[in-house]
């Protein structure tokens, strides 16, 4: 069974961490069988499962339901679940809602934001709930960000992301997930932090990569981000083959290449 200690020692050894989202029994089973170390029950389910145009409508009850399904299919991966929009607006809410997901089988929770999450991160960590902080493009803030855009392009914003990640690491965050930033920022962040940095659209230098299940298999009909790659295309062996190829390309550093990264 993979744990946070597994991910820490992978970072120390320079071995890339392969991660994917899953929302049900079969996808969790397939991902864990193929050697994925970290499964995220992501609130992206609002878009790829429920068909909303953002993750904002997702509730803690939705997350609990999908967490329960994934837990039954998983054998080896570390299980992380998203706290959905407005479920962690204050420290006590974050504790209450993280407990719901942990009772369903999550082994850690993910929150979106920067330094303002420090108190919740500390509180959860002290109460035995490991925390991943999701930074860069934070989809729950899509309205504030003005769309799904690359973050951290200007020097001030780039420095702010690094400084706030350090604050969250000090508060106890044991993974930083960084989405949709220039490759150089992904690299700098990975060097600056002791904890594993998992990237999505953050270049190949991060300690690991994550993709949304439906993007990895080319199933989502909506607009595709630059970092999305369909691993079903050009591989044999169906879904298992595509997942295995994703793991291989993450481990070898072939994915993401320049075509799937932001310069
Ligand atoms: O909800 C999700 O699937 C995520 C990924 C984009 C990392 O947070």
Residues 126-146 have a mean pLDDT of 98
Distance from the CA of 156 to the center of ligand 1, in angstroms? 25
Contact 19, 36 (CB under 8 A): yes
- Exposure of 78 in the CB half-sphere (CA atoms within 13 A): 22
Contact 169, 195 (CB under 8 A): yes
Q: How many residues does the chain have?
A: 263
List, for residues 137-190, the tens digit of each pLDDT value. 999 999 999 999 999 999 999 999 999 999 999 999 999 999 999 999 999 999
Beta-sheet pairing, 175-179 with 131-136:
parallel
Q: For the chain, how many helices (H) and strands (E)?
A: 11, 8
The owner of tokens 């070898």 is 252
Residue 13 CB coordination number (10 Å)? 8
What's the alpha-carbon Rg for the chain, to the nearest Å?
Answer: 17
Atom of ligand 1 nearest to the CA of 210: 7
How much is the mean pLDDT over the chain?
98
Residue 159 CB coordination number (10 Å)? 13
Task: DSSP letter for 49, please.
Answer: T
Distance from the CA of 210 to the center of ligand 1, in angstroms? 8
- pLDDT at residue 255, rounded to an integer: 98
Check: pTM over 0.95? Answer yes or no. yes
179 is catalytic: yes
Atom of ligand 1 nearest to the CA of 112: 8
Contact 65, 25 (CB under 8 A): no
Q: Which residues pair with 39 in a beta bridge?
A: 20, 79
Distance from the CA of 215 to the center of ligand 1, in angstroms? 11
List, for residues 78-98, the tens digit of each pLDDT value. 999 999 999 999 999 999 999
Q: State the Cα–Cα distance between residues 239 and 206, nearest whole angstrom.
A: 25
Give the binding-site residues of ligand 1, using a 6 Å CB cut-off. 21, 40, 42-44, 82, 134, 177, 179, 200, 210, 212
Beta-sheet pairing, 17-21 with 208-211:
parallel
Look up residue 47 and give its two tokens. 């878009």
């Amino acid at each position: 069974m993979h744990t946070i200690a597994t991910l820490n020692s992978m970072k120390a050894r320079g071995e890339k961490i392969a991660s994917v989202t899953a929302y049900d029994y079969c996808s969790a089973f397939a991902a864990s069988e193929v050697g994925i170390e970290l499964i995220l029950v992501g609130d992206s389910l609002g878009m790829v499962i429920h068909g909303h145009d953002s993750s904002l409508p997702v509730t803690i009850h939705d997350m609990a339901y999908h967490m329960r399904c994934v837990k039954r299919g998983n054998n080896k991966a570390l299980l992380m679940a998203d706290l959905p929009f407005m479920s962690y607006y204050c420290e006590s809410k974050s504790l209450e809602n993280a407990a719901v997901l942990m009772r369903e089988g999550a082994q850690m929770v993910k929150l979106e934001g920067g330094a303002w999450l420090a108190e919740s991160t500390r509180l959860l960590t002290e109460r035995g709930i490991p925390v991943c902080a999701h930074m860069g493009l934070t989809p729950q803030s899509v309205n504030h960000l003005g769309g799904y855009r690359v973050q951290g392009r200007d020097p001030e914003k780039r420095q702010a992301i690094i400084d706030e990640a350090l604050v969250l690491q000090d508060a106890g965050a044991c993974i930083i997930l960084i989405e949709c930033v220039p490759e150089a920022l992904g690299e700098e962040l990975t060097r600056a932090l002791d904890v594993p940095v998992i990237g999505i659209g953050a270049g190949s230098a991060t300690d690991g990569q994550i993709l949304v299940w439906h993007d990895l298999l080319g199933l989502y009909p909506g607009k595709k981000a630059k970092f999305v790659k369909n691993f079903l295309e050009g591989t044999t062996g169906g879904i298992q083959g595509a997942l295995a190829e994703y793991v291989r390309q993450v481990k070898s550093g072939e994915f993401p290449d320049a075509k799937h990264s932001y310069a």
